[in-house]
Amino acid sequence: MKLDFTDRTVLVTGGTRGIGRAIVDAFAGAGARVAFTYRSATAEAEALRADLEARGAEVLAFQSDAASTASAQEVVDAVLAAWGRLDVLVNNAGITRDGLMLRLTEEDWDAVINTNLKSVFNFARAAYRPMMKQRSGAIVNISSVVGVMGNPGQTNYAASKAGIIGFSKSLAKELGRRGVTVNVVAPGYVATDMTAELSEQAREAMLGAVPLGRPARPEDVAHAVLFLASPAAAYITGHVLHVDGGLAM
Ligand code: NAD
């Protein structure tokens, strides 16, 4: 089935690189109007917008710290003002600040929880009312296998990603009768700038545990997001879809 998002409006947080960029690309390629946020990479955001527009897509780019509740509201309001509706919200923005518990600082904890988890609250809260009124919408939140399995050195990251799963299941139960689905994609090891920071040893150890024997491409994650946001997944909500080559089974 070809997924067609013509006339659909999509908002993706953290869209200028890695998984977020692949998601933005895939939605634009499927005909959607795509808005994306970025924290500070203005040049990359402008280049992405120009590239997508050259391919005929309608695009909006917003500089916005996903951890800011007020900024999330402003972004959603601007999308609604421009396009009149919000069909799909993808909460992708995320960071790591790894370290064993003993060395983890309060700042490391707050930065990761606010960027990865509070951001999901921020944007879902802003999208809640418009999607409820439309009586349709799809929210897809990007968690991680680490939120399911845990990982030494990532207590803050794992807590944020496990939090996303509990949040999403609760919201799915709140919004189900309004025709809004809320699902989670939990990627395993994806080849992006985020994992480029890992040591060769850590990367090899992780790959050794992946039955499919390769890291995910950002596009592998994007395909799962598009599916969950499409009418083909209309009867799926509160689900955690692992895109991890079999890592967490
Ligand atoms: P990345 O570092 O390449 O990209 C992250 C994006 O989030 C960037 O565009 C960055 O600018 C944006 N971002 C970070 N903080 C932000 C903020 N405060 N406000 C707005 N945007 C912000 O990482 P990625 O690998 O593409 O990761 C994307 C998502 O996928 C993250 O939520 C990450 O936790 C998750 N994930 C990644 C992997 C992996 O192996 N790479 C695995 C599982 C889950």
Domain ranges, ordered by start, for the chain: 9-243
- CA of residue 112 to ligand 1 center, whole Å: 11
Does residue 118 surpass a pLDDT of 90? yes
pLDDT in tens, 189-234: 999 998 988 888 888 888 999 999 999 999 999 999 999 999 999 9
Nearest CA to ligand 1 atom 8: 14
What three-state secondary structure class fits 210? Answer: coil
**Which of the four pLDDT bands, split at 50, 70 and 90, describes residue 2?**
confident
CB contact set of 84 (below 8 Å; sequence gap of 6+): 9
State in Å: Cα 143 to ligand 1 middle: 10
State the helix-helix crossing angle for 155-175 and 119-134, rounded to 10 degrees.
10
Backbone torsion region of residue 136, taken as left when φ is above 0, otherwise alpha when ψ lies between -120 and 50, otherwise beta: beta
As a CATH number, domain 9-243 is: 3.40.50.720
The residue whose CA has the least distance to atom 31 of ligand 1 is: 94
pLDDT at 129 over 90: yes
Could you tell me if the CB of 48 is within 6 A of ligand 1? no
pLDDT band at residue 1, thresholds of 50, 70 and 90?
Answer: low
Ligand 1: which of 64, 95, 203, 247 to mutate, most ligand atoms within 8 Å of CB? Answer: 95
Q: Which of 183, 185, 163, 164 is nearest to 242 (CA)?
A: 185
β-sheet bridge partners, residue 139: 89, 182
Q: What's the 179 CA to ligand 1 centre distance in angstroms? A: 28
Cβ-defined contacts of 51-57 (< 8 Å, 24+): 52/24, 52/25, 52/28, 55/28, 55/29, 57/28, 57/32, 57/33
pTM of the model: 0.98
What average pLDDT does this structure show over 124-130?
A: 98
Residue 184 near ligand 1, beta carbon < 6 Å:
no
Which residue numbers are catalytic? Answer: 157
Ligand 1 within 6 A of CB of 138:
no
